[in-house]
Amino acid sequence: MRYPVVAFLISLAPAAFAQEAKSPQEEALKKLAADLPRLMKAADADGNGTLNVAEFRAFAPEVVKAGETILNALDPSLAKKKADKDVKKYDQNADGKLDDEEKKVMDEEARLKSIKGFDWDRDGKLSEKEKTAMGWAAEGDLIYRHRKVDTDANGELSSAEIEAGLSSISGIKVKKAKP
């Protein structure tokens, strides 16, 4: 058993309480797991039932997107919290919302952040060489993430491996419940 203490405590609690104690992240992962057959089928281009690196490239962002949708439906306050944070940071004239000019500043900052580390001459754009380097890094990252989930290292992700690695693929982190 992975969490013997937690399992013991839950066994002591009435069923209704255990239900309530579930975090939205936990609940979202459960719903996402139920949606996996559909997501896997959509990404499994060669139809062999498992995902190679190329198939995982299409699959991973879809899982992240589906996870976000489920999580936001379960707890709309999460999306609101993020939006509030953006307003707080970029609302120059303090009118409580972001106008087009302020949104532009926010988007530009996000763009520069996304190419940070590859914009070697720091001109705010990616040259062909810089773009190629960023592409290789992204490819390396993808292979690394695929390998991490591929626990039997056969180069293919089974549905069991994906389910076990769902938190890392989706980016939905479950905070351990405090007893």
Q: What is the contact surface with Ca ion in residues (CB under 5 A)?
A: 44, 46, 48, 55, 119, 121, 123, 125, 150, 152, 154, 156
- Nearby residues of 49 by Cβ (< 8 Å), 6 or more positions away: 40, 158, 159
Give residue 145's Cα distance to chain centre: 12
Nearer to Ca ion, 147 or 173 (CB): 147
The nearest distance, CB 29 to Ca ion, in angstroms, is 20
Q: Give whole-number Cα distances, 116 to 7, 120, 140, in Å.
A: 44, 8, 17
Residue-wise over 109-128: b if at least 16 C-beta within 10 A, else e?
A: eeeeeeeeebbeeeeeebee
Nearer to Ca ion, 48 or 92 (CB): 48
Side chain identity, residue 119 = D
Nearer to Ca ion, 86 or 119 (CB): 119
The nearest distance, CB 61 to Ca ion, in angstroms, is 17
The nearest distance, CB 9 to Ca ion, in angstroms, is 34
Three-class SS state of 157: strand
Nearer to Ca ion, 40 or 98 (CB): 40
The nearest distance, CB 156 to Ca ion, in angstroms, is 5
